[in-house]
Amino acid sequence: MIPKLPLLRRLPYKSLNQGAQYDPFTLFIKYTMEGGYIVAPGLRFGDSQGDREIQQMIKDESSSFHEEFHWLQYNGTTVGAFLALLRYSQERTTINTLADPGTDYLSKSFQQRLQKNAIPIVPINNESAINASLLDEEDQLNVFRQIWYDHQLVYSIFNSSVSQDSISYPREQVFGEITSDLILYFCDRCGLRYPGNHLARKWFRFDDGEIVFVALSGKRLTTLGIFEGITTANELQLLHFRGASNEYIKKFVDLLDSSSYGVALIAFMTVLGLSPNNLDDLMSIIPTFNTVCDIALNPPLPPFFMCPPENSEHWFWRDIYPPLRLKQLVEAVNDVGFLPLGSQHESLCTYIDTLCTYIGWPSPNNYIHPFKRCNKVIDFDIVNYDPEEIRLDDSASQVLTVPPYVPASYERENGLESDFLGIAGRDNKHRDFEIKELSDFDYYHYLLWVQFKMWERRKKNLPAFINPIECRYKEELFHYYEDIGFGLLFGSIWTRPPFVWCSDDTWGYSTAYHIFNSWLFSSSCFHYFLFDIVAGTGKFDTSAYPPKMKEHKIFDTVRKSFDLTFRIKMEKEILRKEYPQKPLFALGKFLGTPRVLEAFERIGVKPEEYVLRHVMGDWGRAGNYYEITLTEEEQREGVRAISDTGKLNNWGVKNKGAITSSYTLPDKTEIWITTNYDRKYTTLYLLEER
């Protein structure tokens, strides 16, 4: 398990309105309703009792959209690409160091890490610093520990600076060294020629004291806060277009004011002399707010920019740190003016260019993703060069712009793009497919392809990336939304996360192609747990994955990958939970109320599926028999000392007490199942029938 320290947190993005979330570390999106957020366009947000179901559907829709938009942000901005590259560099550093076949001491380090109450390979103390007192000064892994730790520091600086408050270290030096390492590593992996370390290390090395953070009205504004601000603003727009009442939107705005989600939006309006409580003002400025946030989230960072600005030896913190960029942009809006509602692609591009020129920044409209096919490769023989001239050679670009393919028959059936069919330049007529085709690639190659697709589409569909709700609900802008395929069952595969966590804790994929899905999940999961290998001890923390996955054999593949990569034997239990497949108690006769049977019939699910979970010890919200423990007093006193339903069930299995499970059906209906203490009856009923 990983210590619960701010520096080591890997938290998903969560919607403020409901319970959906997107996790950039696992690539899972979690929905609050079955199948995502596709809701009939004509549904409106009513206020009467009969409209409650529609209201809930629209709330689920807005929450799900919020998280799908995070996927676009994380792969369609330079900040997202930078954070992904930073994380991947940390992962590859772990593999390259710890998988060295000539070092016996590595095996010893792993074995110690796998024990209970062990010391992590990189021990972090409560002040979020490396705990040097637990390490031997002569340990050969100390250099690796520092590099891994510095990666984590830079990630937290850029994503959520709150975790930095308790740490004292030379931020400017560390940021410059790690970012230059990313440049060199990226160029080496992708076939780009690069300058020596002495040049690269200057480009993102800031002056002492230059790295500062931003607080507005006592609240910290972070990059994560800007991500959440723009998605929440779009969520507000969706509720408005769906006909939510002013009273409901006002409650939502009040919730923003009391959380980190609203820091960016409220600061934007306050600086411009507008009140968030004036809903007309609020709705009219959201397109402008979304646009300045998009500019703020697209600073000149690797892998897009690998050189300093003209006539300077390095970049400045104020030009690359999103909260400081947002502060300058808000001030510029005062002079430049607001973006008109319903702006087309050309108007949006002009507005972005105008703001960037006003401040003196390169415009994101001119950025070129480095995976563009071109035979020309530039030498990094001077410090200042035109970043638009950076290209990959042809062989490298063919590998990195095309993801692992699916068979042509699937392309015909589901409308996936033709360039999703080949690897390393294979033409679309190629029909043979073997799993070995994927062996030279990992999940990061897939992310690079997604980034490439998004940046290519931004060149002509910018409104869909910045103001997607306007595009969805305004007829004159809908073609941008439609061209990309947002919300379509068989739309472009890069427009949504690859893995889906459903409301009933089942899980699946965004595409139906089994070999690709298995490869991508195994690769992403393997890299995800590298963090646990280094920073954790004992069993791996699998809480970021759907509960039912812990019983799935796919985790065995990941565990075997660790065995092969690091030459260590890992027990199955370290990743996967295996429960005995036998009933825990007798069920007796089945009884079901008419309403609960009607509920099952309505969604097309057999009651027996839930009864089976009940008798096997999977009690839904009440927990799992095999994960619940009782104290000595609870075991002795039983119902007199226990109030928790899960613990009562656990005691009841051993002492013939009543067993109660509670589940939420896919349509949000809550059902209960109770087996009597004498095991004569098992009854199914709705929550309100208790």
- Dist. CA 256–CA 240, nearest whole Å: 16
Are 650 and 622 contacting, i.e. CB atoms less than 8 angstroms apart? no
Asked, for residue 237, whether it belongs to a domain, the answer is no
Listed residue (322, 320, 328) closest to 221, CA to CA: 322
Residues 635 and 683 in one domain: yes
How many domains does the chain fold into? 3
Asked, for residue 659, whether it belongs to a domain, the answer is yes
Are 586 and 679 contacting, i.e. CB atoms less than 8 angstroms apart? yes
pTM of the model: 0.77
Residues 526 and 607 in one domain: no
Residues 600 and 525 in one domain: no
Residues 183 and 149 in one domain: yes
Residues 526 and 595 in one domain: no
- Dist. CA 28–CA 31, nearest whole Å: 10
Residue ending a domain, among 180, 203, 226, is 203
Q: What would the mean pLDDT of 282-298 be, rounded to a whole number?
A: 95
Residues 639 and 600 in one domain: yes
Q: What would the mean pLDDT of 549-562 be, rounded to a whole number?
A: 74
- Confidence class for position 374, pLDDT limits 50, 70, 90: very low
DSSP 117: T
Quote the pLDDT of residue 122.
87
Continuous segment of H or E residues that includes residue 664: strand 659-664
Residues 609 and 638 in one domain: yes
Asked, for residue 150, whether it belongs to a domain, the answer is yes
Asked, for residue 162, whether it belongs to a domain, the answer is yes
Give the pairing type, strands 219-221 and 214-216. Answer: antiparallel
Strand positions, DSSP E, 169-249: 214-216, 219-221
Residues 385-436 pLDDT 10s: 233 332 322 222 222 222 222 222 333 333 333 333 332 223 333 333 333 4
Q: CA torsion sign, 172 to 173 to 178 to 179?
A: positive
Decide if pLDDT at 289 tops 70.
yes
Percentage of the chain lying above the pLDDT 90 cut: 24
Residues 300-334 pLDDT 10s: 998 887 677 777 888 899 999 999 999 999 999 99
Q: What are phi and psi of 672, to 5 degrees?
A: -130, 145
Residues 604 and 569 in one domain: no
Asked, for residue 488, whether it belongs to a domain, the answer is no
Residue ending a domain, among 524, 539, 574, is 574
Quote the pLDDT of residue 220.
87
Please give, one letter per residue, the 3-state secondary structure of 239-268: HHHCCCCHHHHHHHHHHHHCCHHHHHHHHH
Angle at 75 between CA 74 and CA 79, to 5 degrees: 60
Q: The domain containing residue 629 runs over which residues?
A: 589-689
Quote the pLDDT of residue 329.
96
Cβ neighbours, 10 Å, residue 79: 23
- CA dihedral in degrees (91, 97, 98, 100; nearest 10)? 130
User: Alpha carbon 303 to chain centroid distance?
Assistant: 20
Tokens describing residue 296 = 């703020």
Asked, for residue 567, whether it belongs to a domain, the answer is yes
Residue ending a domain, among 188, 203, 218, is 203
Asked, for residue 527, whether it belongs to a domain, the answer is yes
Residues 92 and 198 in one domain: yes
Quote the pLDDT of residue 492.
60
Residues 201-244 pLDDT 10s: 778 888 888 998 888 767 889 999 999 999 989 888 888 888 88
Residues 336-351 pLDDT 10s: 999 999 999 999 999 9
- Order of strands across the sheet that contains 507-509: 13-14, 21-23, 28-30, 499-501, 507-509
- Confidence class for position 38, pLDDT limits 50, 70, 90: low
Least confident piece of the model among 439-448, 595-604, 656-665: 439-448
| 434 or 630, greater pLDDT | 630
| 394 or 531, greater pLDDT | 531
Percent of the chain as helix, strand, coil, to the nearest 5: 55, 5, 40
Residues 568 and 673 in one domain: no
Q: What would the mean pLDDT of 598-622 be, rounded to a whole number?
A: 85
Q: What is the mean pLDDT of the chain?
A: 78
Residues 96 and 187 in one domain: yes
Quote the pLDDT of residue 108.
67
Residues 180 and 102 in one domain: yes
Asked, for residue 603, whether it belongs to a domain, the answer is yes
Quote the pLDDT of residue 402.
24
Quote the pLDDT of residue 385.
27
| 660 or 405, greater pLDDT | 660
Give the pairing type, strands 28-30 and 499-501. Answer: parallel
